[in-house]
Amino acid sequence: MQERQLTSLLDIYILEIIMEGIQKKSFSAKFTILIVILVILAVATIFSAIYLLVKMNNSKQQINFSIGKDTASLILTIDPAEQLKKGEDTQRRNAVTQVRDAILAYFSLNNQAPWCVGSVECNANPSGTGLNDPQMVSAIAELIKSGELKSDFPTRFSKYFSEIFVTAPQTGSTVIVCFKPASNSFLKDSNTKYIKTGETPCTLPDCYWCAR
């Protein structure tokens, strides 16, 4: 209240000086009027500048908040852990597809399974057998030797051998190769509906993606 009264008195005082100067029309009065006008303009300019700075700062804070919010949303959307799991599942799927195609090609050319080489009678056929099993390790070696798999296959995919499972009869009429996905993307895939021997149904999360 006191500040408003002082401001009103100051306005009245300035107005009186201006009116008095105009009436007297003296040099000193005109000079006083000029000084008062300049002071008023300076004060108005200062307050305008302060107002603009405050407004710009508020806008900047809003922009920064918006950017931060969008960045957080983007990180949540991307989900680095999920992307890493998806990448691993993609590698497993590549290995699964290559193994199945190689076994089928070997059957077609040799009329026997790659795990039957050197046997008068074929050993027990794989049924949900991991690639890390001795039977499948020798089969992978035979597939590489015959050219059905590239020589760098073990180097690229050996860390997944315990997670990839083969089911196949000796005749080669059916070859099923499966892996259990770790990512939500692959778990939701329509082909993730088998148990590790390639049969259905399965119950999530114990479901496998199979090439068959």
- What is d(CA 185, CA 195) in angstroms, rounded to the nearest whole number? 18
Boundaries of every domain in the chain = 2-78, 80-211
Would you state the pLDDT for residue 9? 46
Q: Where are the alpha helices (DSSP H) in 79-209?
A: 80-110, 134-145, 153-157, 184-187
**CA-based radius of gyration for the chain:** 41
Would you state the pLDDT for residue 112? 85
- Mind listing the pLDDT tens digit for each residue in 33-69? 667 666 676 666 776 767 677 667 666 555 454 555 5
- Mind listing the pLDDT tens digit for each residue in 79-130? 899 999 999 999 999 999 999 999 999 999 988 889 887 655 566 789 999 9
- What is d(CA 29, CA 86) in angstroms, rounded to the nearest whole number? 84
- Mind listing the pLDDT tens digit for each residue in 137-162? 999 999 999 999 999 999 999 999 99
**Beta carbons of 180 and 165 less than 8 angstroms apart:** no
Q: What is the pTM of this model?
A: 0.63
Write the CA distances from 44 to 4, 37, 41, integer angstroms: 17, 10, 5
Would you state the pLDDT for residue 18? 53
Q: How confident is the model at residue 19 (pLDDT cuts 50, 70, 90)?
A: low
pLDDT > 70: what percent of the chain? 62
